């Protein structure tokens, strides 16, 4: 039977212009690939996509597809217009977890491409917004075959649905001098402790881990994850005064005043008469701006660790929420440090599982019950770094004031004793 080629006048418009065209790529699979199954699947997909462009509507519906032993990890898609475009009537996506920061050898990419060529449409995205490799377009049957093949050489499905999701990390210590953490280890310790919760959706709603090595937060963890881990340091930032002088000599004093010192949110950095810089480190909030501008002269201190923020998410249902501080600073050096990190995550997920409403994210749960109830639930002490301002409203019962004040002084004494 001759291949059916659907007219795609609107999609053809997307072959014009200098940016690489996904439509041209689709057409090569339709027209040039030796496997008729791929030609037909992608040809049919192009037909349905053109139909969407013409009618301004989507035509995919969900369903239930997974692989043997798992309850999630697949995004099932069945066409609502399968009569018109039958060869892509089942077009599921497999979500596959990449390594932290998305490293690959070209050999491994080729191996994945070869497996996908056998069972899928030939379309892949690195990566979806949750952080998974998206193998886009296969049938229910081939979902299992493809997974079986790549699972044998080290790849596992990610999360989909109300479960612990695939995590993400920035490039981090592997390449960046601003990294204050081992993002790699943090991500794998966290997400791989909860593999069962990734593969078998049983939580009130999704739960995401994201890791950034410094407060630039290149991974956007504060806005996009329930459990955000961001590297920071607590001793003095490092200043190479020779490099500062070189920078001033090259750019001029005015440039440093305009672009470094005057941009400091706490006015804690000063350009001296001798073209060196001084920093009041106790007032520095580790915003990263001056380090970003003067990459050779300024760098993070040695006493590194992480800040943990809980509850970030986007709009639905109560509005956007940033993650907020729950652990202001935590060292992550020893095996015990990592154990306690994973323990904290476990306590939070348990509390979330027991207390969140259906389809409620951690941030929404905390908004509903109050931060203090959440902290007491997971056994974390209050800390002034958790708020940007103390209480404004006087409408509160404070019967336990004396005991709470005692606890504060006891904790202070404990810290002072080391």
Partner 1 sequence: MALEEMRSPIESGCPDGFQYMHPVMRKNFGQWKYHEHPRPGVLLHVAKSGDEIWTVKAGTQRILDLYSLRKLTEIGDKYADGYVRFTIRSNIEYMVSDGSKVEPLIKALTDAGFVVGGTRNSIAMISHTQGWLHCDIPGTDASGVVKAMMDEFIDEFTSHNMPNRVHITTSCCQINCGGQGDIAINVQHTKPPKIAHDLVGNVCERPTVVARCPVAAIRPAMVDGKPSLEVDEKKCICCGACFPPCPPMQINDPEHSKLAIWVGGNHSNARSKPTFHRLVAAGVPNNPPRWPEATAIVKQILAAYKEGAKDWERINDWIDRIGWPRFFEVTGLPFTKYHIDNWRGARASLNASTHIRF
Residues 172-191 that bind partner 1 (CB under 8 A): 173-177, 179, 182, 184, 187-188, 191
85 touches partner 1 by CB under 8 A: no
CB atoms within 10 A of CB 224: 19
109 touches partner 1 by CB under 8 A: yes
71 touches partner 1 by CB under 8 A: no
207 touches partner 1 by CB under 8 A: no
Give me the least distance between CB of 335 and partner 1, in Å please.
17
Nearest of 131, 135, 161, 132 to residue 146 by alpha carbon: 135
192 touches partner 1 by CB under 8 A: yes
> For the window 138-177, what string marks contact with partner 1 as x by the rule CB under 8 A?
---------xx--xx-xxxx--------xxx-xx-xxxxx
- Contacts of residue 118, defined as CB under 8 A and 6 or more positions apart, other chains included, come to 145, 146, 149
18 touches partner 1 by CB under 8 A: yes
Considering only CA atoms, give the Rg of the chain.
Answer: 26
Using CA atoms, how far apart are residues 277 and 136, in angstroms rounded to an integer?
Answer: 52
Interface of this chain with partner 1, residues 286 to 325, rule: CB under 8 A: 286-289, 292-293, 295-296, 299, 314-320, 322
Stretch that binds partner 1, among 275-283, 285-293, 330-338, 409-417 (CB under 8 A): 285-293
The reply to whether omega before 99 is within 30° of 0 (cis) is: no
Using CA atoms, how far apart are residues 54 and 183, in angstroms rounded to an integer?
Answer: 45
Nearest of 101, 7, 105, 75 to residue 47 by alpha carbon: 7
CB atoms within 10 A of CB 129: 10
Stretch that binds partner 1, among 124-132, 344-352, 372-380, 399-407 (CB under 8 A): 124-132
206 touches partner 1 by CB under 8 A: no
Q: Which is nearer to partner 1, 99 or 378 (CB)?
A: 99
Using CA atoms, how far apart are residues 331 and 310, in angstroms rounded to an integer?
Answer: 18
SS (H, E, C) 170-223: CCHHHCCCCCCCCHHHHHHHHHHHCHHHHHCCCCCCCECEEEECCCCCCCCHHH
37 touches partner 1 by CB under 8 A: no
Interface of this chain with partner 1, residues 224 to 253, rule: CB under 8 A: 224
The CA-CA-CA angle for residues 180, 181, 184, to 5°, reads 145
Decide if 91 contacts 81 (C-beta within 8 A): no
Position among 65, 74, 136, 239 found at the interface with partner 1 (CB under 8 A): 136
Decide if 40 contacts 3 (C-beta within 8 A): yes
Q: Which is nearer to partner 1, 141 or 406 (CB)?
A: 141
> For the window 367-386, what string marks contact with partner 1 as x by the rule CB under 8 A?
--------------------
32 touches partner 1 by CB under 8 A: yes
Q: Which is nearer to partner 1, 307 or 348 (CB)?
A: 307
SS3 state at 108? helix
Give me the least distance between CB of 243 and partner 1, in Å please.
8
* DSSP, residue by residue, 311-372: --B-STTT--B--EEEEEEE---SHHHHHHHHHHHHHHHHHHHHHSPTT--HHHHHHHH-HH
216 touches partner 1 by CB under 8 A: yes
68 touches partner 1 by CB under 8 A: yes
Position among 1, 2, 69, 393 found at the interface with partner 1 (CB under 8 A): 69
Give me the least distance between CB of 409 and partner 1, in Å please.
30
Q: Which is nearer to partner 1, 32 or 403 (CB)?
A: 32
Position among 94, 123, 160, 186 found at the interface with partner 1 (CB under 8 A): 123
Give me the least distance between CB of 222 and partner 1, in Å please.
5
- Contacts of residue 283, defined as CB under 8 A and 6 or more positions apart, other chains included, come to 266, 267, 268
Please state the separation of Cα 106 from the chain's center in Å: 24
57 touches partner 1 by CB under 8 A: yes
Position among 3, 4, 7, 28 found at the interface with partner 1 (CB under 8 A): 28
39 touches partner 1 by CB under 8 A: no
230 is written with which tokens?
Answer: 């961001």
């Amino acid at each position: 039977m001759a291949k059916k080629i659907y007219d795609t006048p609107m999609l053809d418009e997307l072959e014009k212009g200098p940016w690489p065209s996904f439509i041209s790529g689709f057409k090569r699979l339709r027209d040039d690939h030796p496997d008729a199954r791929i030609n037909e699947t992608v040809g049919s997909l192009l037909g349905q996509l053109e139909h969407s462009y013409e009618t301004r509507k989507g035509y995919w519906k969900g369903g239930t597809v997974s692989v043997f032993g798992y309850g999630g990890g697949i995004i099932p898609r069945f066409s609502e217009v399968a009569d018109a475009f039958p060869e892509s009537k089942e077009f599921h996506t497999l979500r596959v977890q990449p390594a932290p920061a998305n490293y690959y050898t070209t050999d491994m990419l080729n191996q994945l491409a070869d497996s996908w060529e056998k069972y899928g449409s030939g379309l892949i995205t690195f990566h979806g917004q949750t952080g998974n490799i998206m193998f886009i377009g296969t049938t229910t049957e081939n979902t299992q075959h493809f997974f079986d093949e790549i699972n044998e050489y080290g790849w596992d499905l990610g999360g989909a649905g109300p479960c612990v999701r695939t995590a993400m990390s920035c490039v981090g210590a592997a390449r960046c001098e601003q990294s204050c953490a081992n993002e790699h280890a943090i991500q794998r310790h966290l997400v791989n402790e909860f593999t069962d919760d990734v593969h078998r959706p049983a939580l009130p709603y999704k739960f995401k881990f994201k890791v950034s090595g410094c407060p630039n937060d290149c991974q956007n963890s504060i806005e996009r994850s329930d459990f955000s881990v961001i590297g920071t340091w607590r001793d003095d930032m490092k200043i190479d005064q020779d490099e500062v002088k070189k920078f001033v000599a090259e750019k001029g004093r005015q440039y440093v005043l305009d672009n470094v010192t005057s941009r400091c949110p706490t006015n804690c950095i000063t350009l001296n008469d001798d073209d060196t810089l001084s920093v009041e480190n106790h007032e520095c909030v580790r915003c990263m701006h001056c380090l970003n501008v003067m990459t050779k002269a300024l760098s993070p201190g040695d006493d590194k660790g992480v800040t943990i923020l809980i509850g970030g998410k986007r709009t639905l249902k109560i509005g956007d929420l940033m993650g907020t501080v729950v652990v202001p600073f935590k060292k992550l050096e020893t095996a015990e440090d990592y154990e306690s990190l994973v323990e904290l995550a476990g306590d939070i997920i348990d509390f979330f599982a027991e207390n969140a409403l259906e389809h409620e994210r951690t941030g929404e749960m905390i908004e509903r019950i109050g931060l203090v109830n959440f902290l007491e639930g997971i056994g974390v002490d209050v800390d002034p770094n958790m708020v940007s301002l103390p209480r404004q409203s006087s409408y509160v019962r404070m019967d336990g004031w004396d005991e709470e004040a005692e606890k504060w002084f006891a904790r202070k004494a404990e810290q002072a004793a080391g």
